[in-house]
Structure 1
Amino acid sequence: MTRIALIDDHESVRLGLEAACARSDGKQVVFSGSSVIEYLRWRRTGGGAPADVVVLDLTLGDGTTVSENVTRLVSDGSSVIIHSVADRPAAVREALTSGAAGVVSKASPIDDVIGAIRAVARGELLNNVEWASAIDGDRDFADAQLSARERDVLRLYAAGLPLKAVADRLGIAYSTAKENITRVRVKYVEVGRPAPTKVDLMRRALEDGILAEAGTNSAEAARER
């Protein structure tokens, strides 16, 4: 029996999915609610083992982000399917980067959703060709349009070097290196990919292939710390 949790702030969507799961053999909806916080509270207060598959709305009305929600659910032991409309490619990519197994459009037939649940329960990732195309077409998300200098500073800083060492390596003033990192953070915020911490900057650099340019930077950083 596949244990399923449905998290969507539209009750009508949840009711439709519940009915479809009830008609499908081997599926049990163990939770239906409007937020991940509500689901995790249910888990802590006797809900039992984590759901095998969580069907999660891309955008909930409680102010949480999709990356927060997916990370919490995956860390709790569930596989996550994003159930969404197709007009938020940036948020979709954020969900997939955070560990979601795939995406199913809310415009898809209900049998497709059930099929996706079945596949993910077997440990498979979903084939999201249409979503990949949408993401590739979202140039603002894909490219924060960093300058060459900003990429150089980010590459070294995200690889682990202290900012002073980055400045020394590039032959620039510490204040210039700091100003570049500030501009990088602003640019990522502007395209909906905030990076307030050094770890977040590392994630953005990995996503954008900037760290791939680094080669042996991690070992160099370890020596220079």
Structure 2
Amino acid sequence: MLRLAIVDDHRIVRAGFREMLADELGLRVEFEAASGEEALQKLREQPCDVLLLDLSLPGASGVDVLRAVRQRYAALKVLVLSGFPEERYALPMIRNGANGYLCKDCERDELIRAIRTVAQGRRYVSPRTAELLADELAGVSAALPHESLSERELQVFLRLAKGESVSGIADTLKLSVKTVSTYRSRLLEKLEVASNAELAAYALRHGLMVG
């Protein structure tokens, strides 16, 4: 029996996914969580095989949860189910440890295929994400600056873009203020911006605001 967890802050979305999976043999929803913190707490008590993870969550974002899962639960497969189109987050999330990326408006058959694919230890990419990867490999499209950010850089970037202070981010991510300041300087350089306001403008311009 394949054990699943659904992490999404909207009850109706969780119910929709649970209903889609209800009649599928060999799959069981082990638990649901409405926040990243709740998901990590439940994982300590109720192990599962595949985590269906939304990016936009209150408190700890999907990026934060992905990083924590990769540190603590190496065998757990993470399938990102997001309202954001593949062009925005699919490649960065897969590079940073997600086993697959799927839009929430997917069909039931595709969702089940994605779950079974990642459960077998393979990556799942939608046809659109595969096209993006192929274009990148062929040098057809230049990668956007944020697509090359590391997992930690992406975490800090999204929090700065939301207006969080360096000290606040340091507290949340259990880092020193100096370390977060270093990440900030690196982000300004990589994204070719000069201030937090420009970081926020970049995030808005590319549709990257989560949470």
- In the superposition, the TM-score normalised over structure 1's length comes to 0.57
Q: 1:73 aligns with which of 69, 74, 88?
A: 69
Aligned match of 2:128: 130
User: 5+ unaligned residues in a row in structure 2: which ranges?
Assistant: 150-182, 197-211
Aligned to 2:90: 92
Alpha-carbon shift at residue 61 of structure 1 (Å): 2.5
Alignment of 1:49-198 (within 5 A): 50-62=47-59, 64-74=60-70, 75-76=72-73, 77-87=75-85, 89-133=87-131, 139-142=144-147, 184-188=186-190
Please state whether the residue corresponding to 1:25 is helix, strand or coil.
coil
Query: Which secondary structure state, in structure 1, belongs to the residue aligned with residue 3 of structure 2?
Result: strand
Q: Is the 8 A contact 2:36 2:57 kept in 1?
A: no
- What CA deviation, in whole Å up to 9, does each residue of 1:11-61 have, x standing for no partner? 1111111112221001110111112320221233x42xx210001012212
TM-score normalised according to structure 2 size: 0.61
Q: State the identity %.
A: 27
TM-superposed CA distance for 1:98, in Å, is 1.9
User: Any unmatched runs of 5+ in structure 1?
Assistant: 145-180, 195-225
Asked whether the 8 Å contact 1:90–1:141 carries over to 2, the reply is no
Superposed CA RMSD in Å reads 3.0
Q: Tell me whether 1:40 sits opposite 2:40 in the alignment.
A: yes
Which secondary structure does the structure 1 equivalent of 2:124 belong to?
coil
Q: May I ask how many residue pairs the two structures share in their alignment?
A: 152
Helix, strand or coil for the counterpart of 1:73?
helix
Q: Does the 8 Å contact 1:51/1:78 carry over to 2?
A: yes
2:22 aligned counterpart, secondary structure: helix
Q: Deviations over 1:155-190 (max 9, x none)?
A: xxxxxxxxxxxxxxxxxxxxxxxxxx9864313366
CA distance in 2 between partners of 1:88 and 1:96 (Å): 11
- Rounded Cα–Cα distance in structure 2 between residues aligned with 1:141 and 1:30: 34
Cα offset for 1:130? 1.0
Structure 1 residues 182 and 114: CA distance shift in structure 2, 3 A: closer
Distance in 2, matches of 1:116 and 1:101, equals 9
2-structure distance, mates of 1:89, 1:130: 8
Work out the CA distance in 1 between the residues paired with 2:86 and 2:191.
16
1:31 counterpart SS class: strand
**Aligned residues of 1:66 and 1:95 also touching (Cα < 8 A):** no
Tell me which of the two structures has the higher relative contact order, counting C-alpha pairs closer than 8 angstroms and 6 or more residues apart. Answer: 2
Letter in 2 for 1:54: L
- For residues 35 and 190 of structure 1, do their structure 2 counterparts lie closer, same or farther at Cα, with a shift above 3 Å needed? farther
CA distance in 2, matches of 1:60, 1:82: 12
Cα distance in 1 for residues equivalent to 2:30 and 2:129 = 29
Q: SS of 2:9's equivalent?
A: coil
CA distance in 1, matches of 2:126, 2:147: 17
Amino acid in the other structure paired with 1:123: G
1:2 aligns to what?
Answer: 2
